[in-house]
Structure 1
Amino acid sequence: MGGVLDPVTRLAVLEAITDGALRELELEQVFDVLLPRVRELFAVDTATVLLTDAGGRQLVARAASGLEAEVFQGVRVPVGVGFAGRVAQQRKPVRIDRVDESTVVNPLLWTRGLRVLLGVPMVTQGDLVGVLHVGRTAPREFDDEEVVLLQLVADRLAMAAHAHRSRVERTAAAMLQDSLLPETLPATAEWHLAARYVPGAHSPVGGDWYDVFRLPGDRLGLVIGDVAGSGLAAAIVMGRLRSALRAYALEFTDPAEVLGRLDRKASHFEGYAMATIAYGVIDTPAHRLELALAGHPPPVLAVPDGRSVLVDAPVGPPVGYGLAVTGRRSVGVDLPPGALVALYTDGLVERRDVDLDMRLERLRAVTRAEPPETACVRIMAALVGDTPAADDVALLAVRRAMTAT
């Protein structure tokens, strides 16, 4: 027999998923409220939500009513495999009337004695969020109306799960990025530093970063980089590249060699990640900067006589995708007393409908051999002003003192 819902039950389902109070609840509370109601209204024994993992290749049991062991045991189902995997892959409802190892991956379902299952995809804004499925231990048929109504429930749950995931990712990415930016810059009596980081207007967190660290032999490492993309994924890649670059910097003195090693690592382990990076090493006794660029705009060098120039350095390919097959090159730059070097990401100079060369010229013109904090204030005022940048902005300024103290 079919399970045709009467008008009262249909109305109850619609009221349950449109209840305004759900908007005030956390995701777990939404599950706690709706899944028992689903069991009651659809006259089923189990209701389970599986959400996609970070890579979108597996479904993970996140909430259940009637078969909580799925959650407790961390059930995972590959997309495209078994009952729930087929729902996710096809992104359409699936009904089965035989529950065993030939139709489902999770043995908990048939050991629970389920005879029939109905699963619907959880999709919002074109993205697969997960799968909602219900089951019953007694034989029955799920009719088309029940499929439509369960899909409405899944859509409501998908919206809640998507919003929750977005909030969590933004928070996690912001915390990760904050933890990776230096709390203090290793200034000395002769070398002074200042920096800025401002997230882009369209994303609170991106993949831009700067780093400064001491190296053996009285050397100072300077890094500024920009990972393609935004959000948690970009922040995670940024963290990995930052750590790997620091490790390679301890092993190799040539910045070009360090970027070459980093490129190999990123190309092999980071999949489709790509980043532009400027990496320089200041030999403090020699007052000289060795610099290598991986797809990154050149820094500005300003000297006390009023001259400022974009450093003439070879720009190699970005890091990632194994692009630097012919090797990378470094360039040496002498830093006279009072000289200032400003490194930056492209968010500082790129603006829609504005010529990039004009923006670079503006940056060169306003960069002066002055205290780094003053230079950062001047550069940000001239290049950012009161208009938020669409992309992240990172700026790192380092200056050699006029006289050693």
Structure 2
Amino acid sequence: MFYMRTSISSSGGAEERLRQIELVTDTALAHLESDDLLQEMLHRSSDLLDVDTAAVMRYEPASELLVATAAVGIEDLVRQDVRSHVGPSFASAAAGRRRPILDSEEDPSVLLPAFQEHGISTLIGTPMLAGGDVIGVLYVGTYRARRFSEHDVHLLQLVADRIALAIRASTTHAERAATKALQRSLLPTKLPAVPGITLDARYVSGADPALGGDWYDVFTLPSGHIGIVIGDVVGNGLPAAIIMGRLRSALRAYALETEDPAQVLHKLDRKVTHFEPNAMATVAYSIYDPAAAALRISMAGHLPPVVGKPSCRSSLAPVPVDPPVGLGVTHRDRRTSVIELPAQGVVCFYTDGLVERRHRSIDIGLDQLCEAIDPAPAGTVCTRVMNKLVGAEPPDDDIALLTISHSETANTPSR
């Protein structure tokens, strides 16, 4: 049997409710770590709403699951990793509903059995939204039968919104830190020392915290040749960085099987198409042969490198560009081209964050890059390029820059 809880209808009561809800996310909680913060918010929310249990179910769009993330009064939901499949229409339905779910018939994702086993009599779930995105569902329950009033429902939605914003802020910070750590861990710890050439690279994270799919790699092959990779995963944030790590490892493995760059990218394309069906990346893979002073290169949707020669204006390498990996065009043959690296010459690889700017044609950035490159040791070239195209302003997008110089003047490779 349900009962109607006495609601505060006066303006003073409404003001008191609004004052109380500030306790859910006051500044004193800012020092807490993510898990502790969420737990404390649920404790305060339970007291404010006068309920016996509260649980946050985070929404995972990729798997279409609600996953128990934090709980009070029913903590084993989290310990047992309780989850519920909600289907493809859940997010749009939850975003459009903007109101609590009062019974299990309205929402098939309600985990009523798990709550009933603990003697929960009344259960209500509220979508947690932040910036129009569905973060998850806040569930509250009571052991005694209870009918939630309109004031209760409104207060519950306010609490859910506050928790959603806190989760979004905490997640953004944590994912940004994890993305940067993953990016840095996957960069080469030391560039190979190769007689007759200098190598140098730069990696700069963009100002947008959602970015994270650029990478470069340099490694010595069993033949003594040097593998050089630069790529950019389509997407952003931690998911893009994770895919980037997988592509980097897979490409290294394929590079041990063949020294034909086109075949390496063909294998990588098959791998991405089959195992990462929603992923796509641009990649340039080249192999430097010291004896021939030349690079064999295959391009998968990536911007062509810039080649600089003495007494000539630097220009984009005239190499054919095949489709990105993951596009699904696996039947098309990929091509390998040759770029000569003459004495005092330089080849510069880069990702689009270096040359692309909002409200400006990319051709302008490419022209500036060509102007900035003059034959010199790799470290000098990288410094000139970054000063010319980046300067002191934080870039919008991630930037990876990798230079190989056939210079008689050696310099110490750096990251």
TM-score, length basis structure 2:
0.87
Q: Retained in 1: the 8 A contact 2:211–2:235?
A: no
Residue matched to 1:368: 374
Deviates more, 1:83-92 or 1:297-306: 83-92
For residue 141 of structure 1, report the CA deviation from its aligned partner.
Answer: 1.5
In structure 2, C-alpha distance between the alignment counterparts of 1:171 and 1:375, rounded to whole Å: 30
Query: Residue 103 of structure 2 aligns with which residue?
Result: 96
Tell me how far apart the structure 2 counterparts of residues 355 and 135 of structure 1 sit (CA, whole Å). Answer: 56
Pair 1:192–1:64, CA change in 2 (3 A)? same
Change in Cα spacing, 1:28 to 1:393, as seen in structure 2 (3 Å) is: closer
1:133–1:400 Cα change, 3 Å:
same
Asked if the contact 1:306–1:369 (Cα under 8 Å) also holds between the matched residues in 2, the reply is: no
Query: Distance in 1 between the 2:175 and 2:109 partners?
Result: 34
Partner of 1:335: 341
**1:378–1:71: structure 2 CA closer, same or farther, 3 Å change rule?**
same
Any conservation in 2 of the 1:341–1:398 contact (CA below 8 Å)?
yes
1:70 aligns to what? 77
| Match in the other structure for 2:6 | 4
TM superposition shift of 1:293:
0.8
After alignment, is 248-257 or 4-13 more displaced?
Answer: 4-13
Look up the equivalent residue of 1:226 and give its one-letter code: D
Q: Does the Cα contact within 8 Å between 1:88 and 1:130 map onto a contact in 2?
A: no
> By how many angstroms is 1:390 displaced?
2.3
How far residue 127 of structure 1 moved from its aligned partner, in angstroms, is 1.0
How many Å separate the matches in 1 of 2:50 and 2:368? 69
Percent identity, aligned pairs only, is 46
Counterpart for residue 18 of structure 1 = 22
Deviation of the 1:319 alpha carbon: 1.4
| Shift in Å, 1:274 | 1.6
Aligned to 2:86: 79
Deviation (angstroms), 1:357: 3.1
Equivalent residues in 2 for 1:279-318 (5 A)? 279-306=285-312, 308-318=314-324
How far does residue 250 in structure 1 lie from its aligned partner after superposition? 0.8
1:127 equivalent among 129, 133, 138: 133
Partner Cα separation in structure 2 for residue 255 and residue 21 of structure 1? 55
Q: Does the alignment pair 1:263 with 2:269? A: yes
Following the alignment from structure 2 to structure 1, what is the Cα–Cα distance between the partners of residues 404 and 104? 70
Once the 2 structures are TM-superposed, how far is the Cα of residue 151 of structure 1 from its aligned partner? 0.8
Q: For 2:361 and 2:158, how far apart are their aligned partners in 1?
A: 49
Structure-1 residue corresponding to 2:413: none
**More displaced, 345-354 or 6-15?**
6-15
Of 337, 350, 360, 2:356 maps to 350
Which residue identity lines up with residue 296 of structure 1 in the other structure? Answer: H
Q: Is 1:148 aligned to 2:154, yes or no?
A: yes
Match of 1:42 in 2: 49
Residue of structure 2 equivalent to 1:223: 229
Distance verdict in 2 for CA 1:333–1:60, change over 3 Å = same
Distance 1:222 1:84 in 2: 42
Q: Please say if residues 300 and 310 of structure 1, whose CA atoms lie closer than 8 Å, have aligned partners that are also in contact.
A: yes
How far the C-alpha of 1:298 sits from its partner, in A, is 1.1
**CA distance in 1: counterparts of 2:264 and 2:17, whole angstroms:** 60
Relative to structure 1, the CA distance from residue 106 to residue 240 in structure 2 (aligned partners, 3 Å threshold; closer, same or farther) is: farther
**In structure 1, distance between residues paired with 2:246 and 2:392:** 33
For residue 23 of structure 1, report the CA deviation from its aligned partner: 5.0
Q: Is the 1:97–1:115 Cα contact (8 Å) retained in structure 2?
A: no
Q: Which runs of 5+ in 2 are unaligned?
A: 411-415
SS at match of 2:217: strand
Cα pair 2:95 2:133 within 8 Å, conserved: no
Tell me the amino acid that sits aligned with residue 122 of structure 1.
M
- Paired position in structure 2 for 1:248: 254
Kindly tell me the number of residue pairs found equivalent between the two proteins: 401
Q: What is the distance in 2 between the residues matched to 1:245 and 1:345?
A: 18
Output the aligned Cα RMSD.
Answer: 2.9
Which range moved further: 191-200 or 40-49? Answer: 40-49
Within the candidate set 161, 172, 177, 1:171 is matched to 177
Q: Distance in 1 between matches of 2:278 and 2:119?
A: 44
Q: Deviations over 1:345-368 (max 9, x none)?
A: 122222334443343233223322
Q: Per-residue deviation at 1:171?
A: 0.6
Aligned to 1:251, the other structure's residue is in SS state coil
Whole-Å separation in 1 of the counterparts to 2:98 and 2:8: 27
TM-score w.r.t. the length of structure 1 is: 0.89
| Structure number with higher strand proportion | 1
In 1, the alpha carbon distance for the partners of 2:356 and 2:129 equals 35
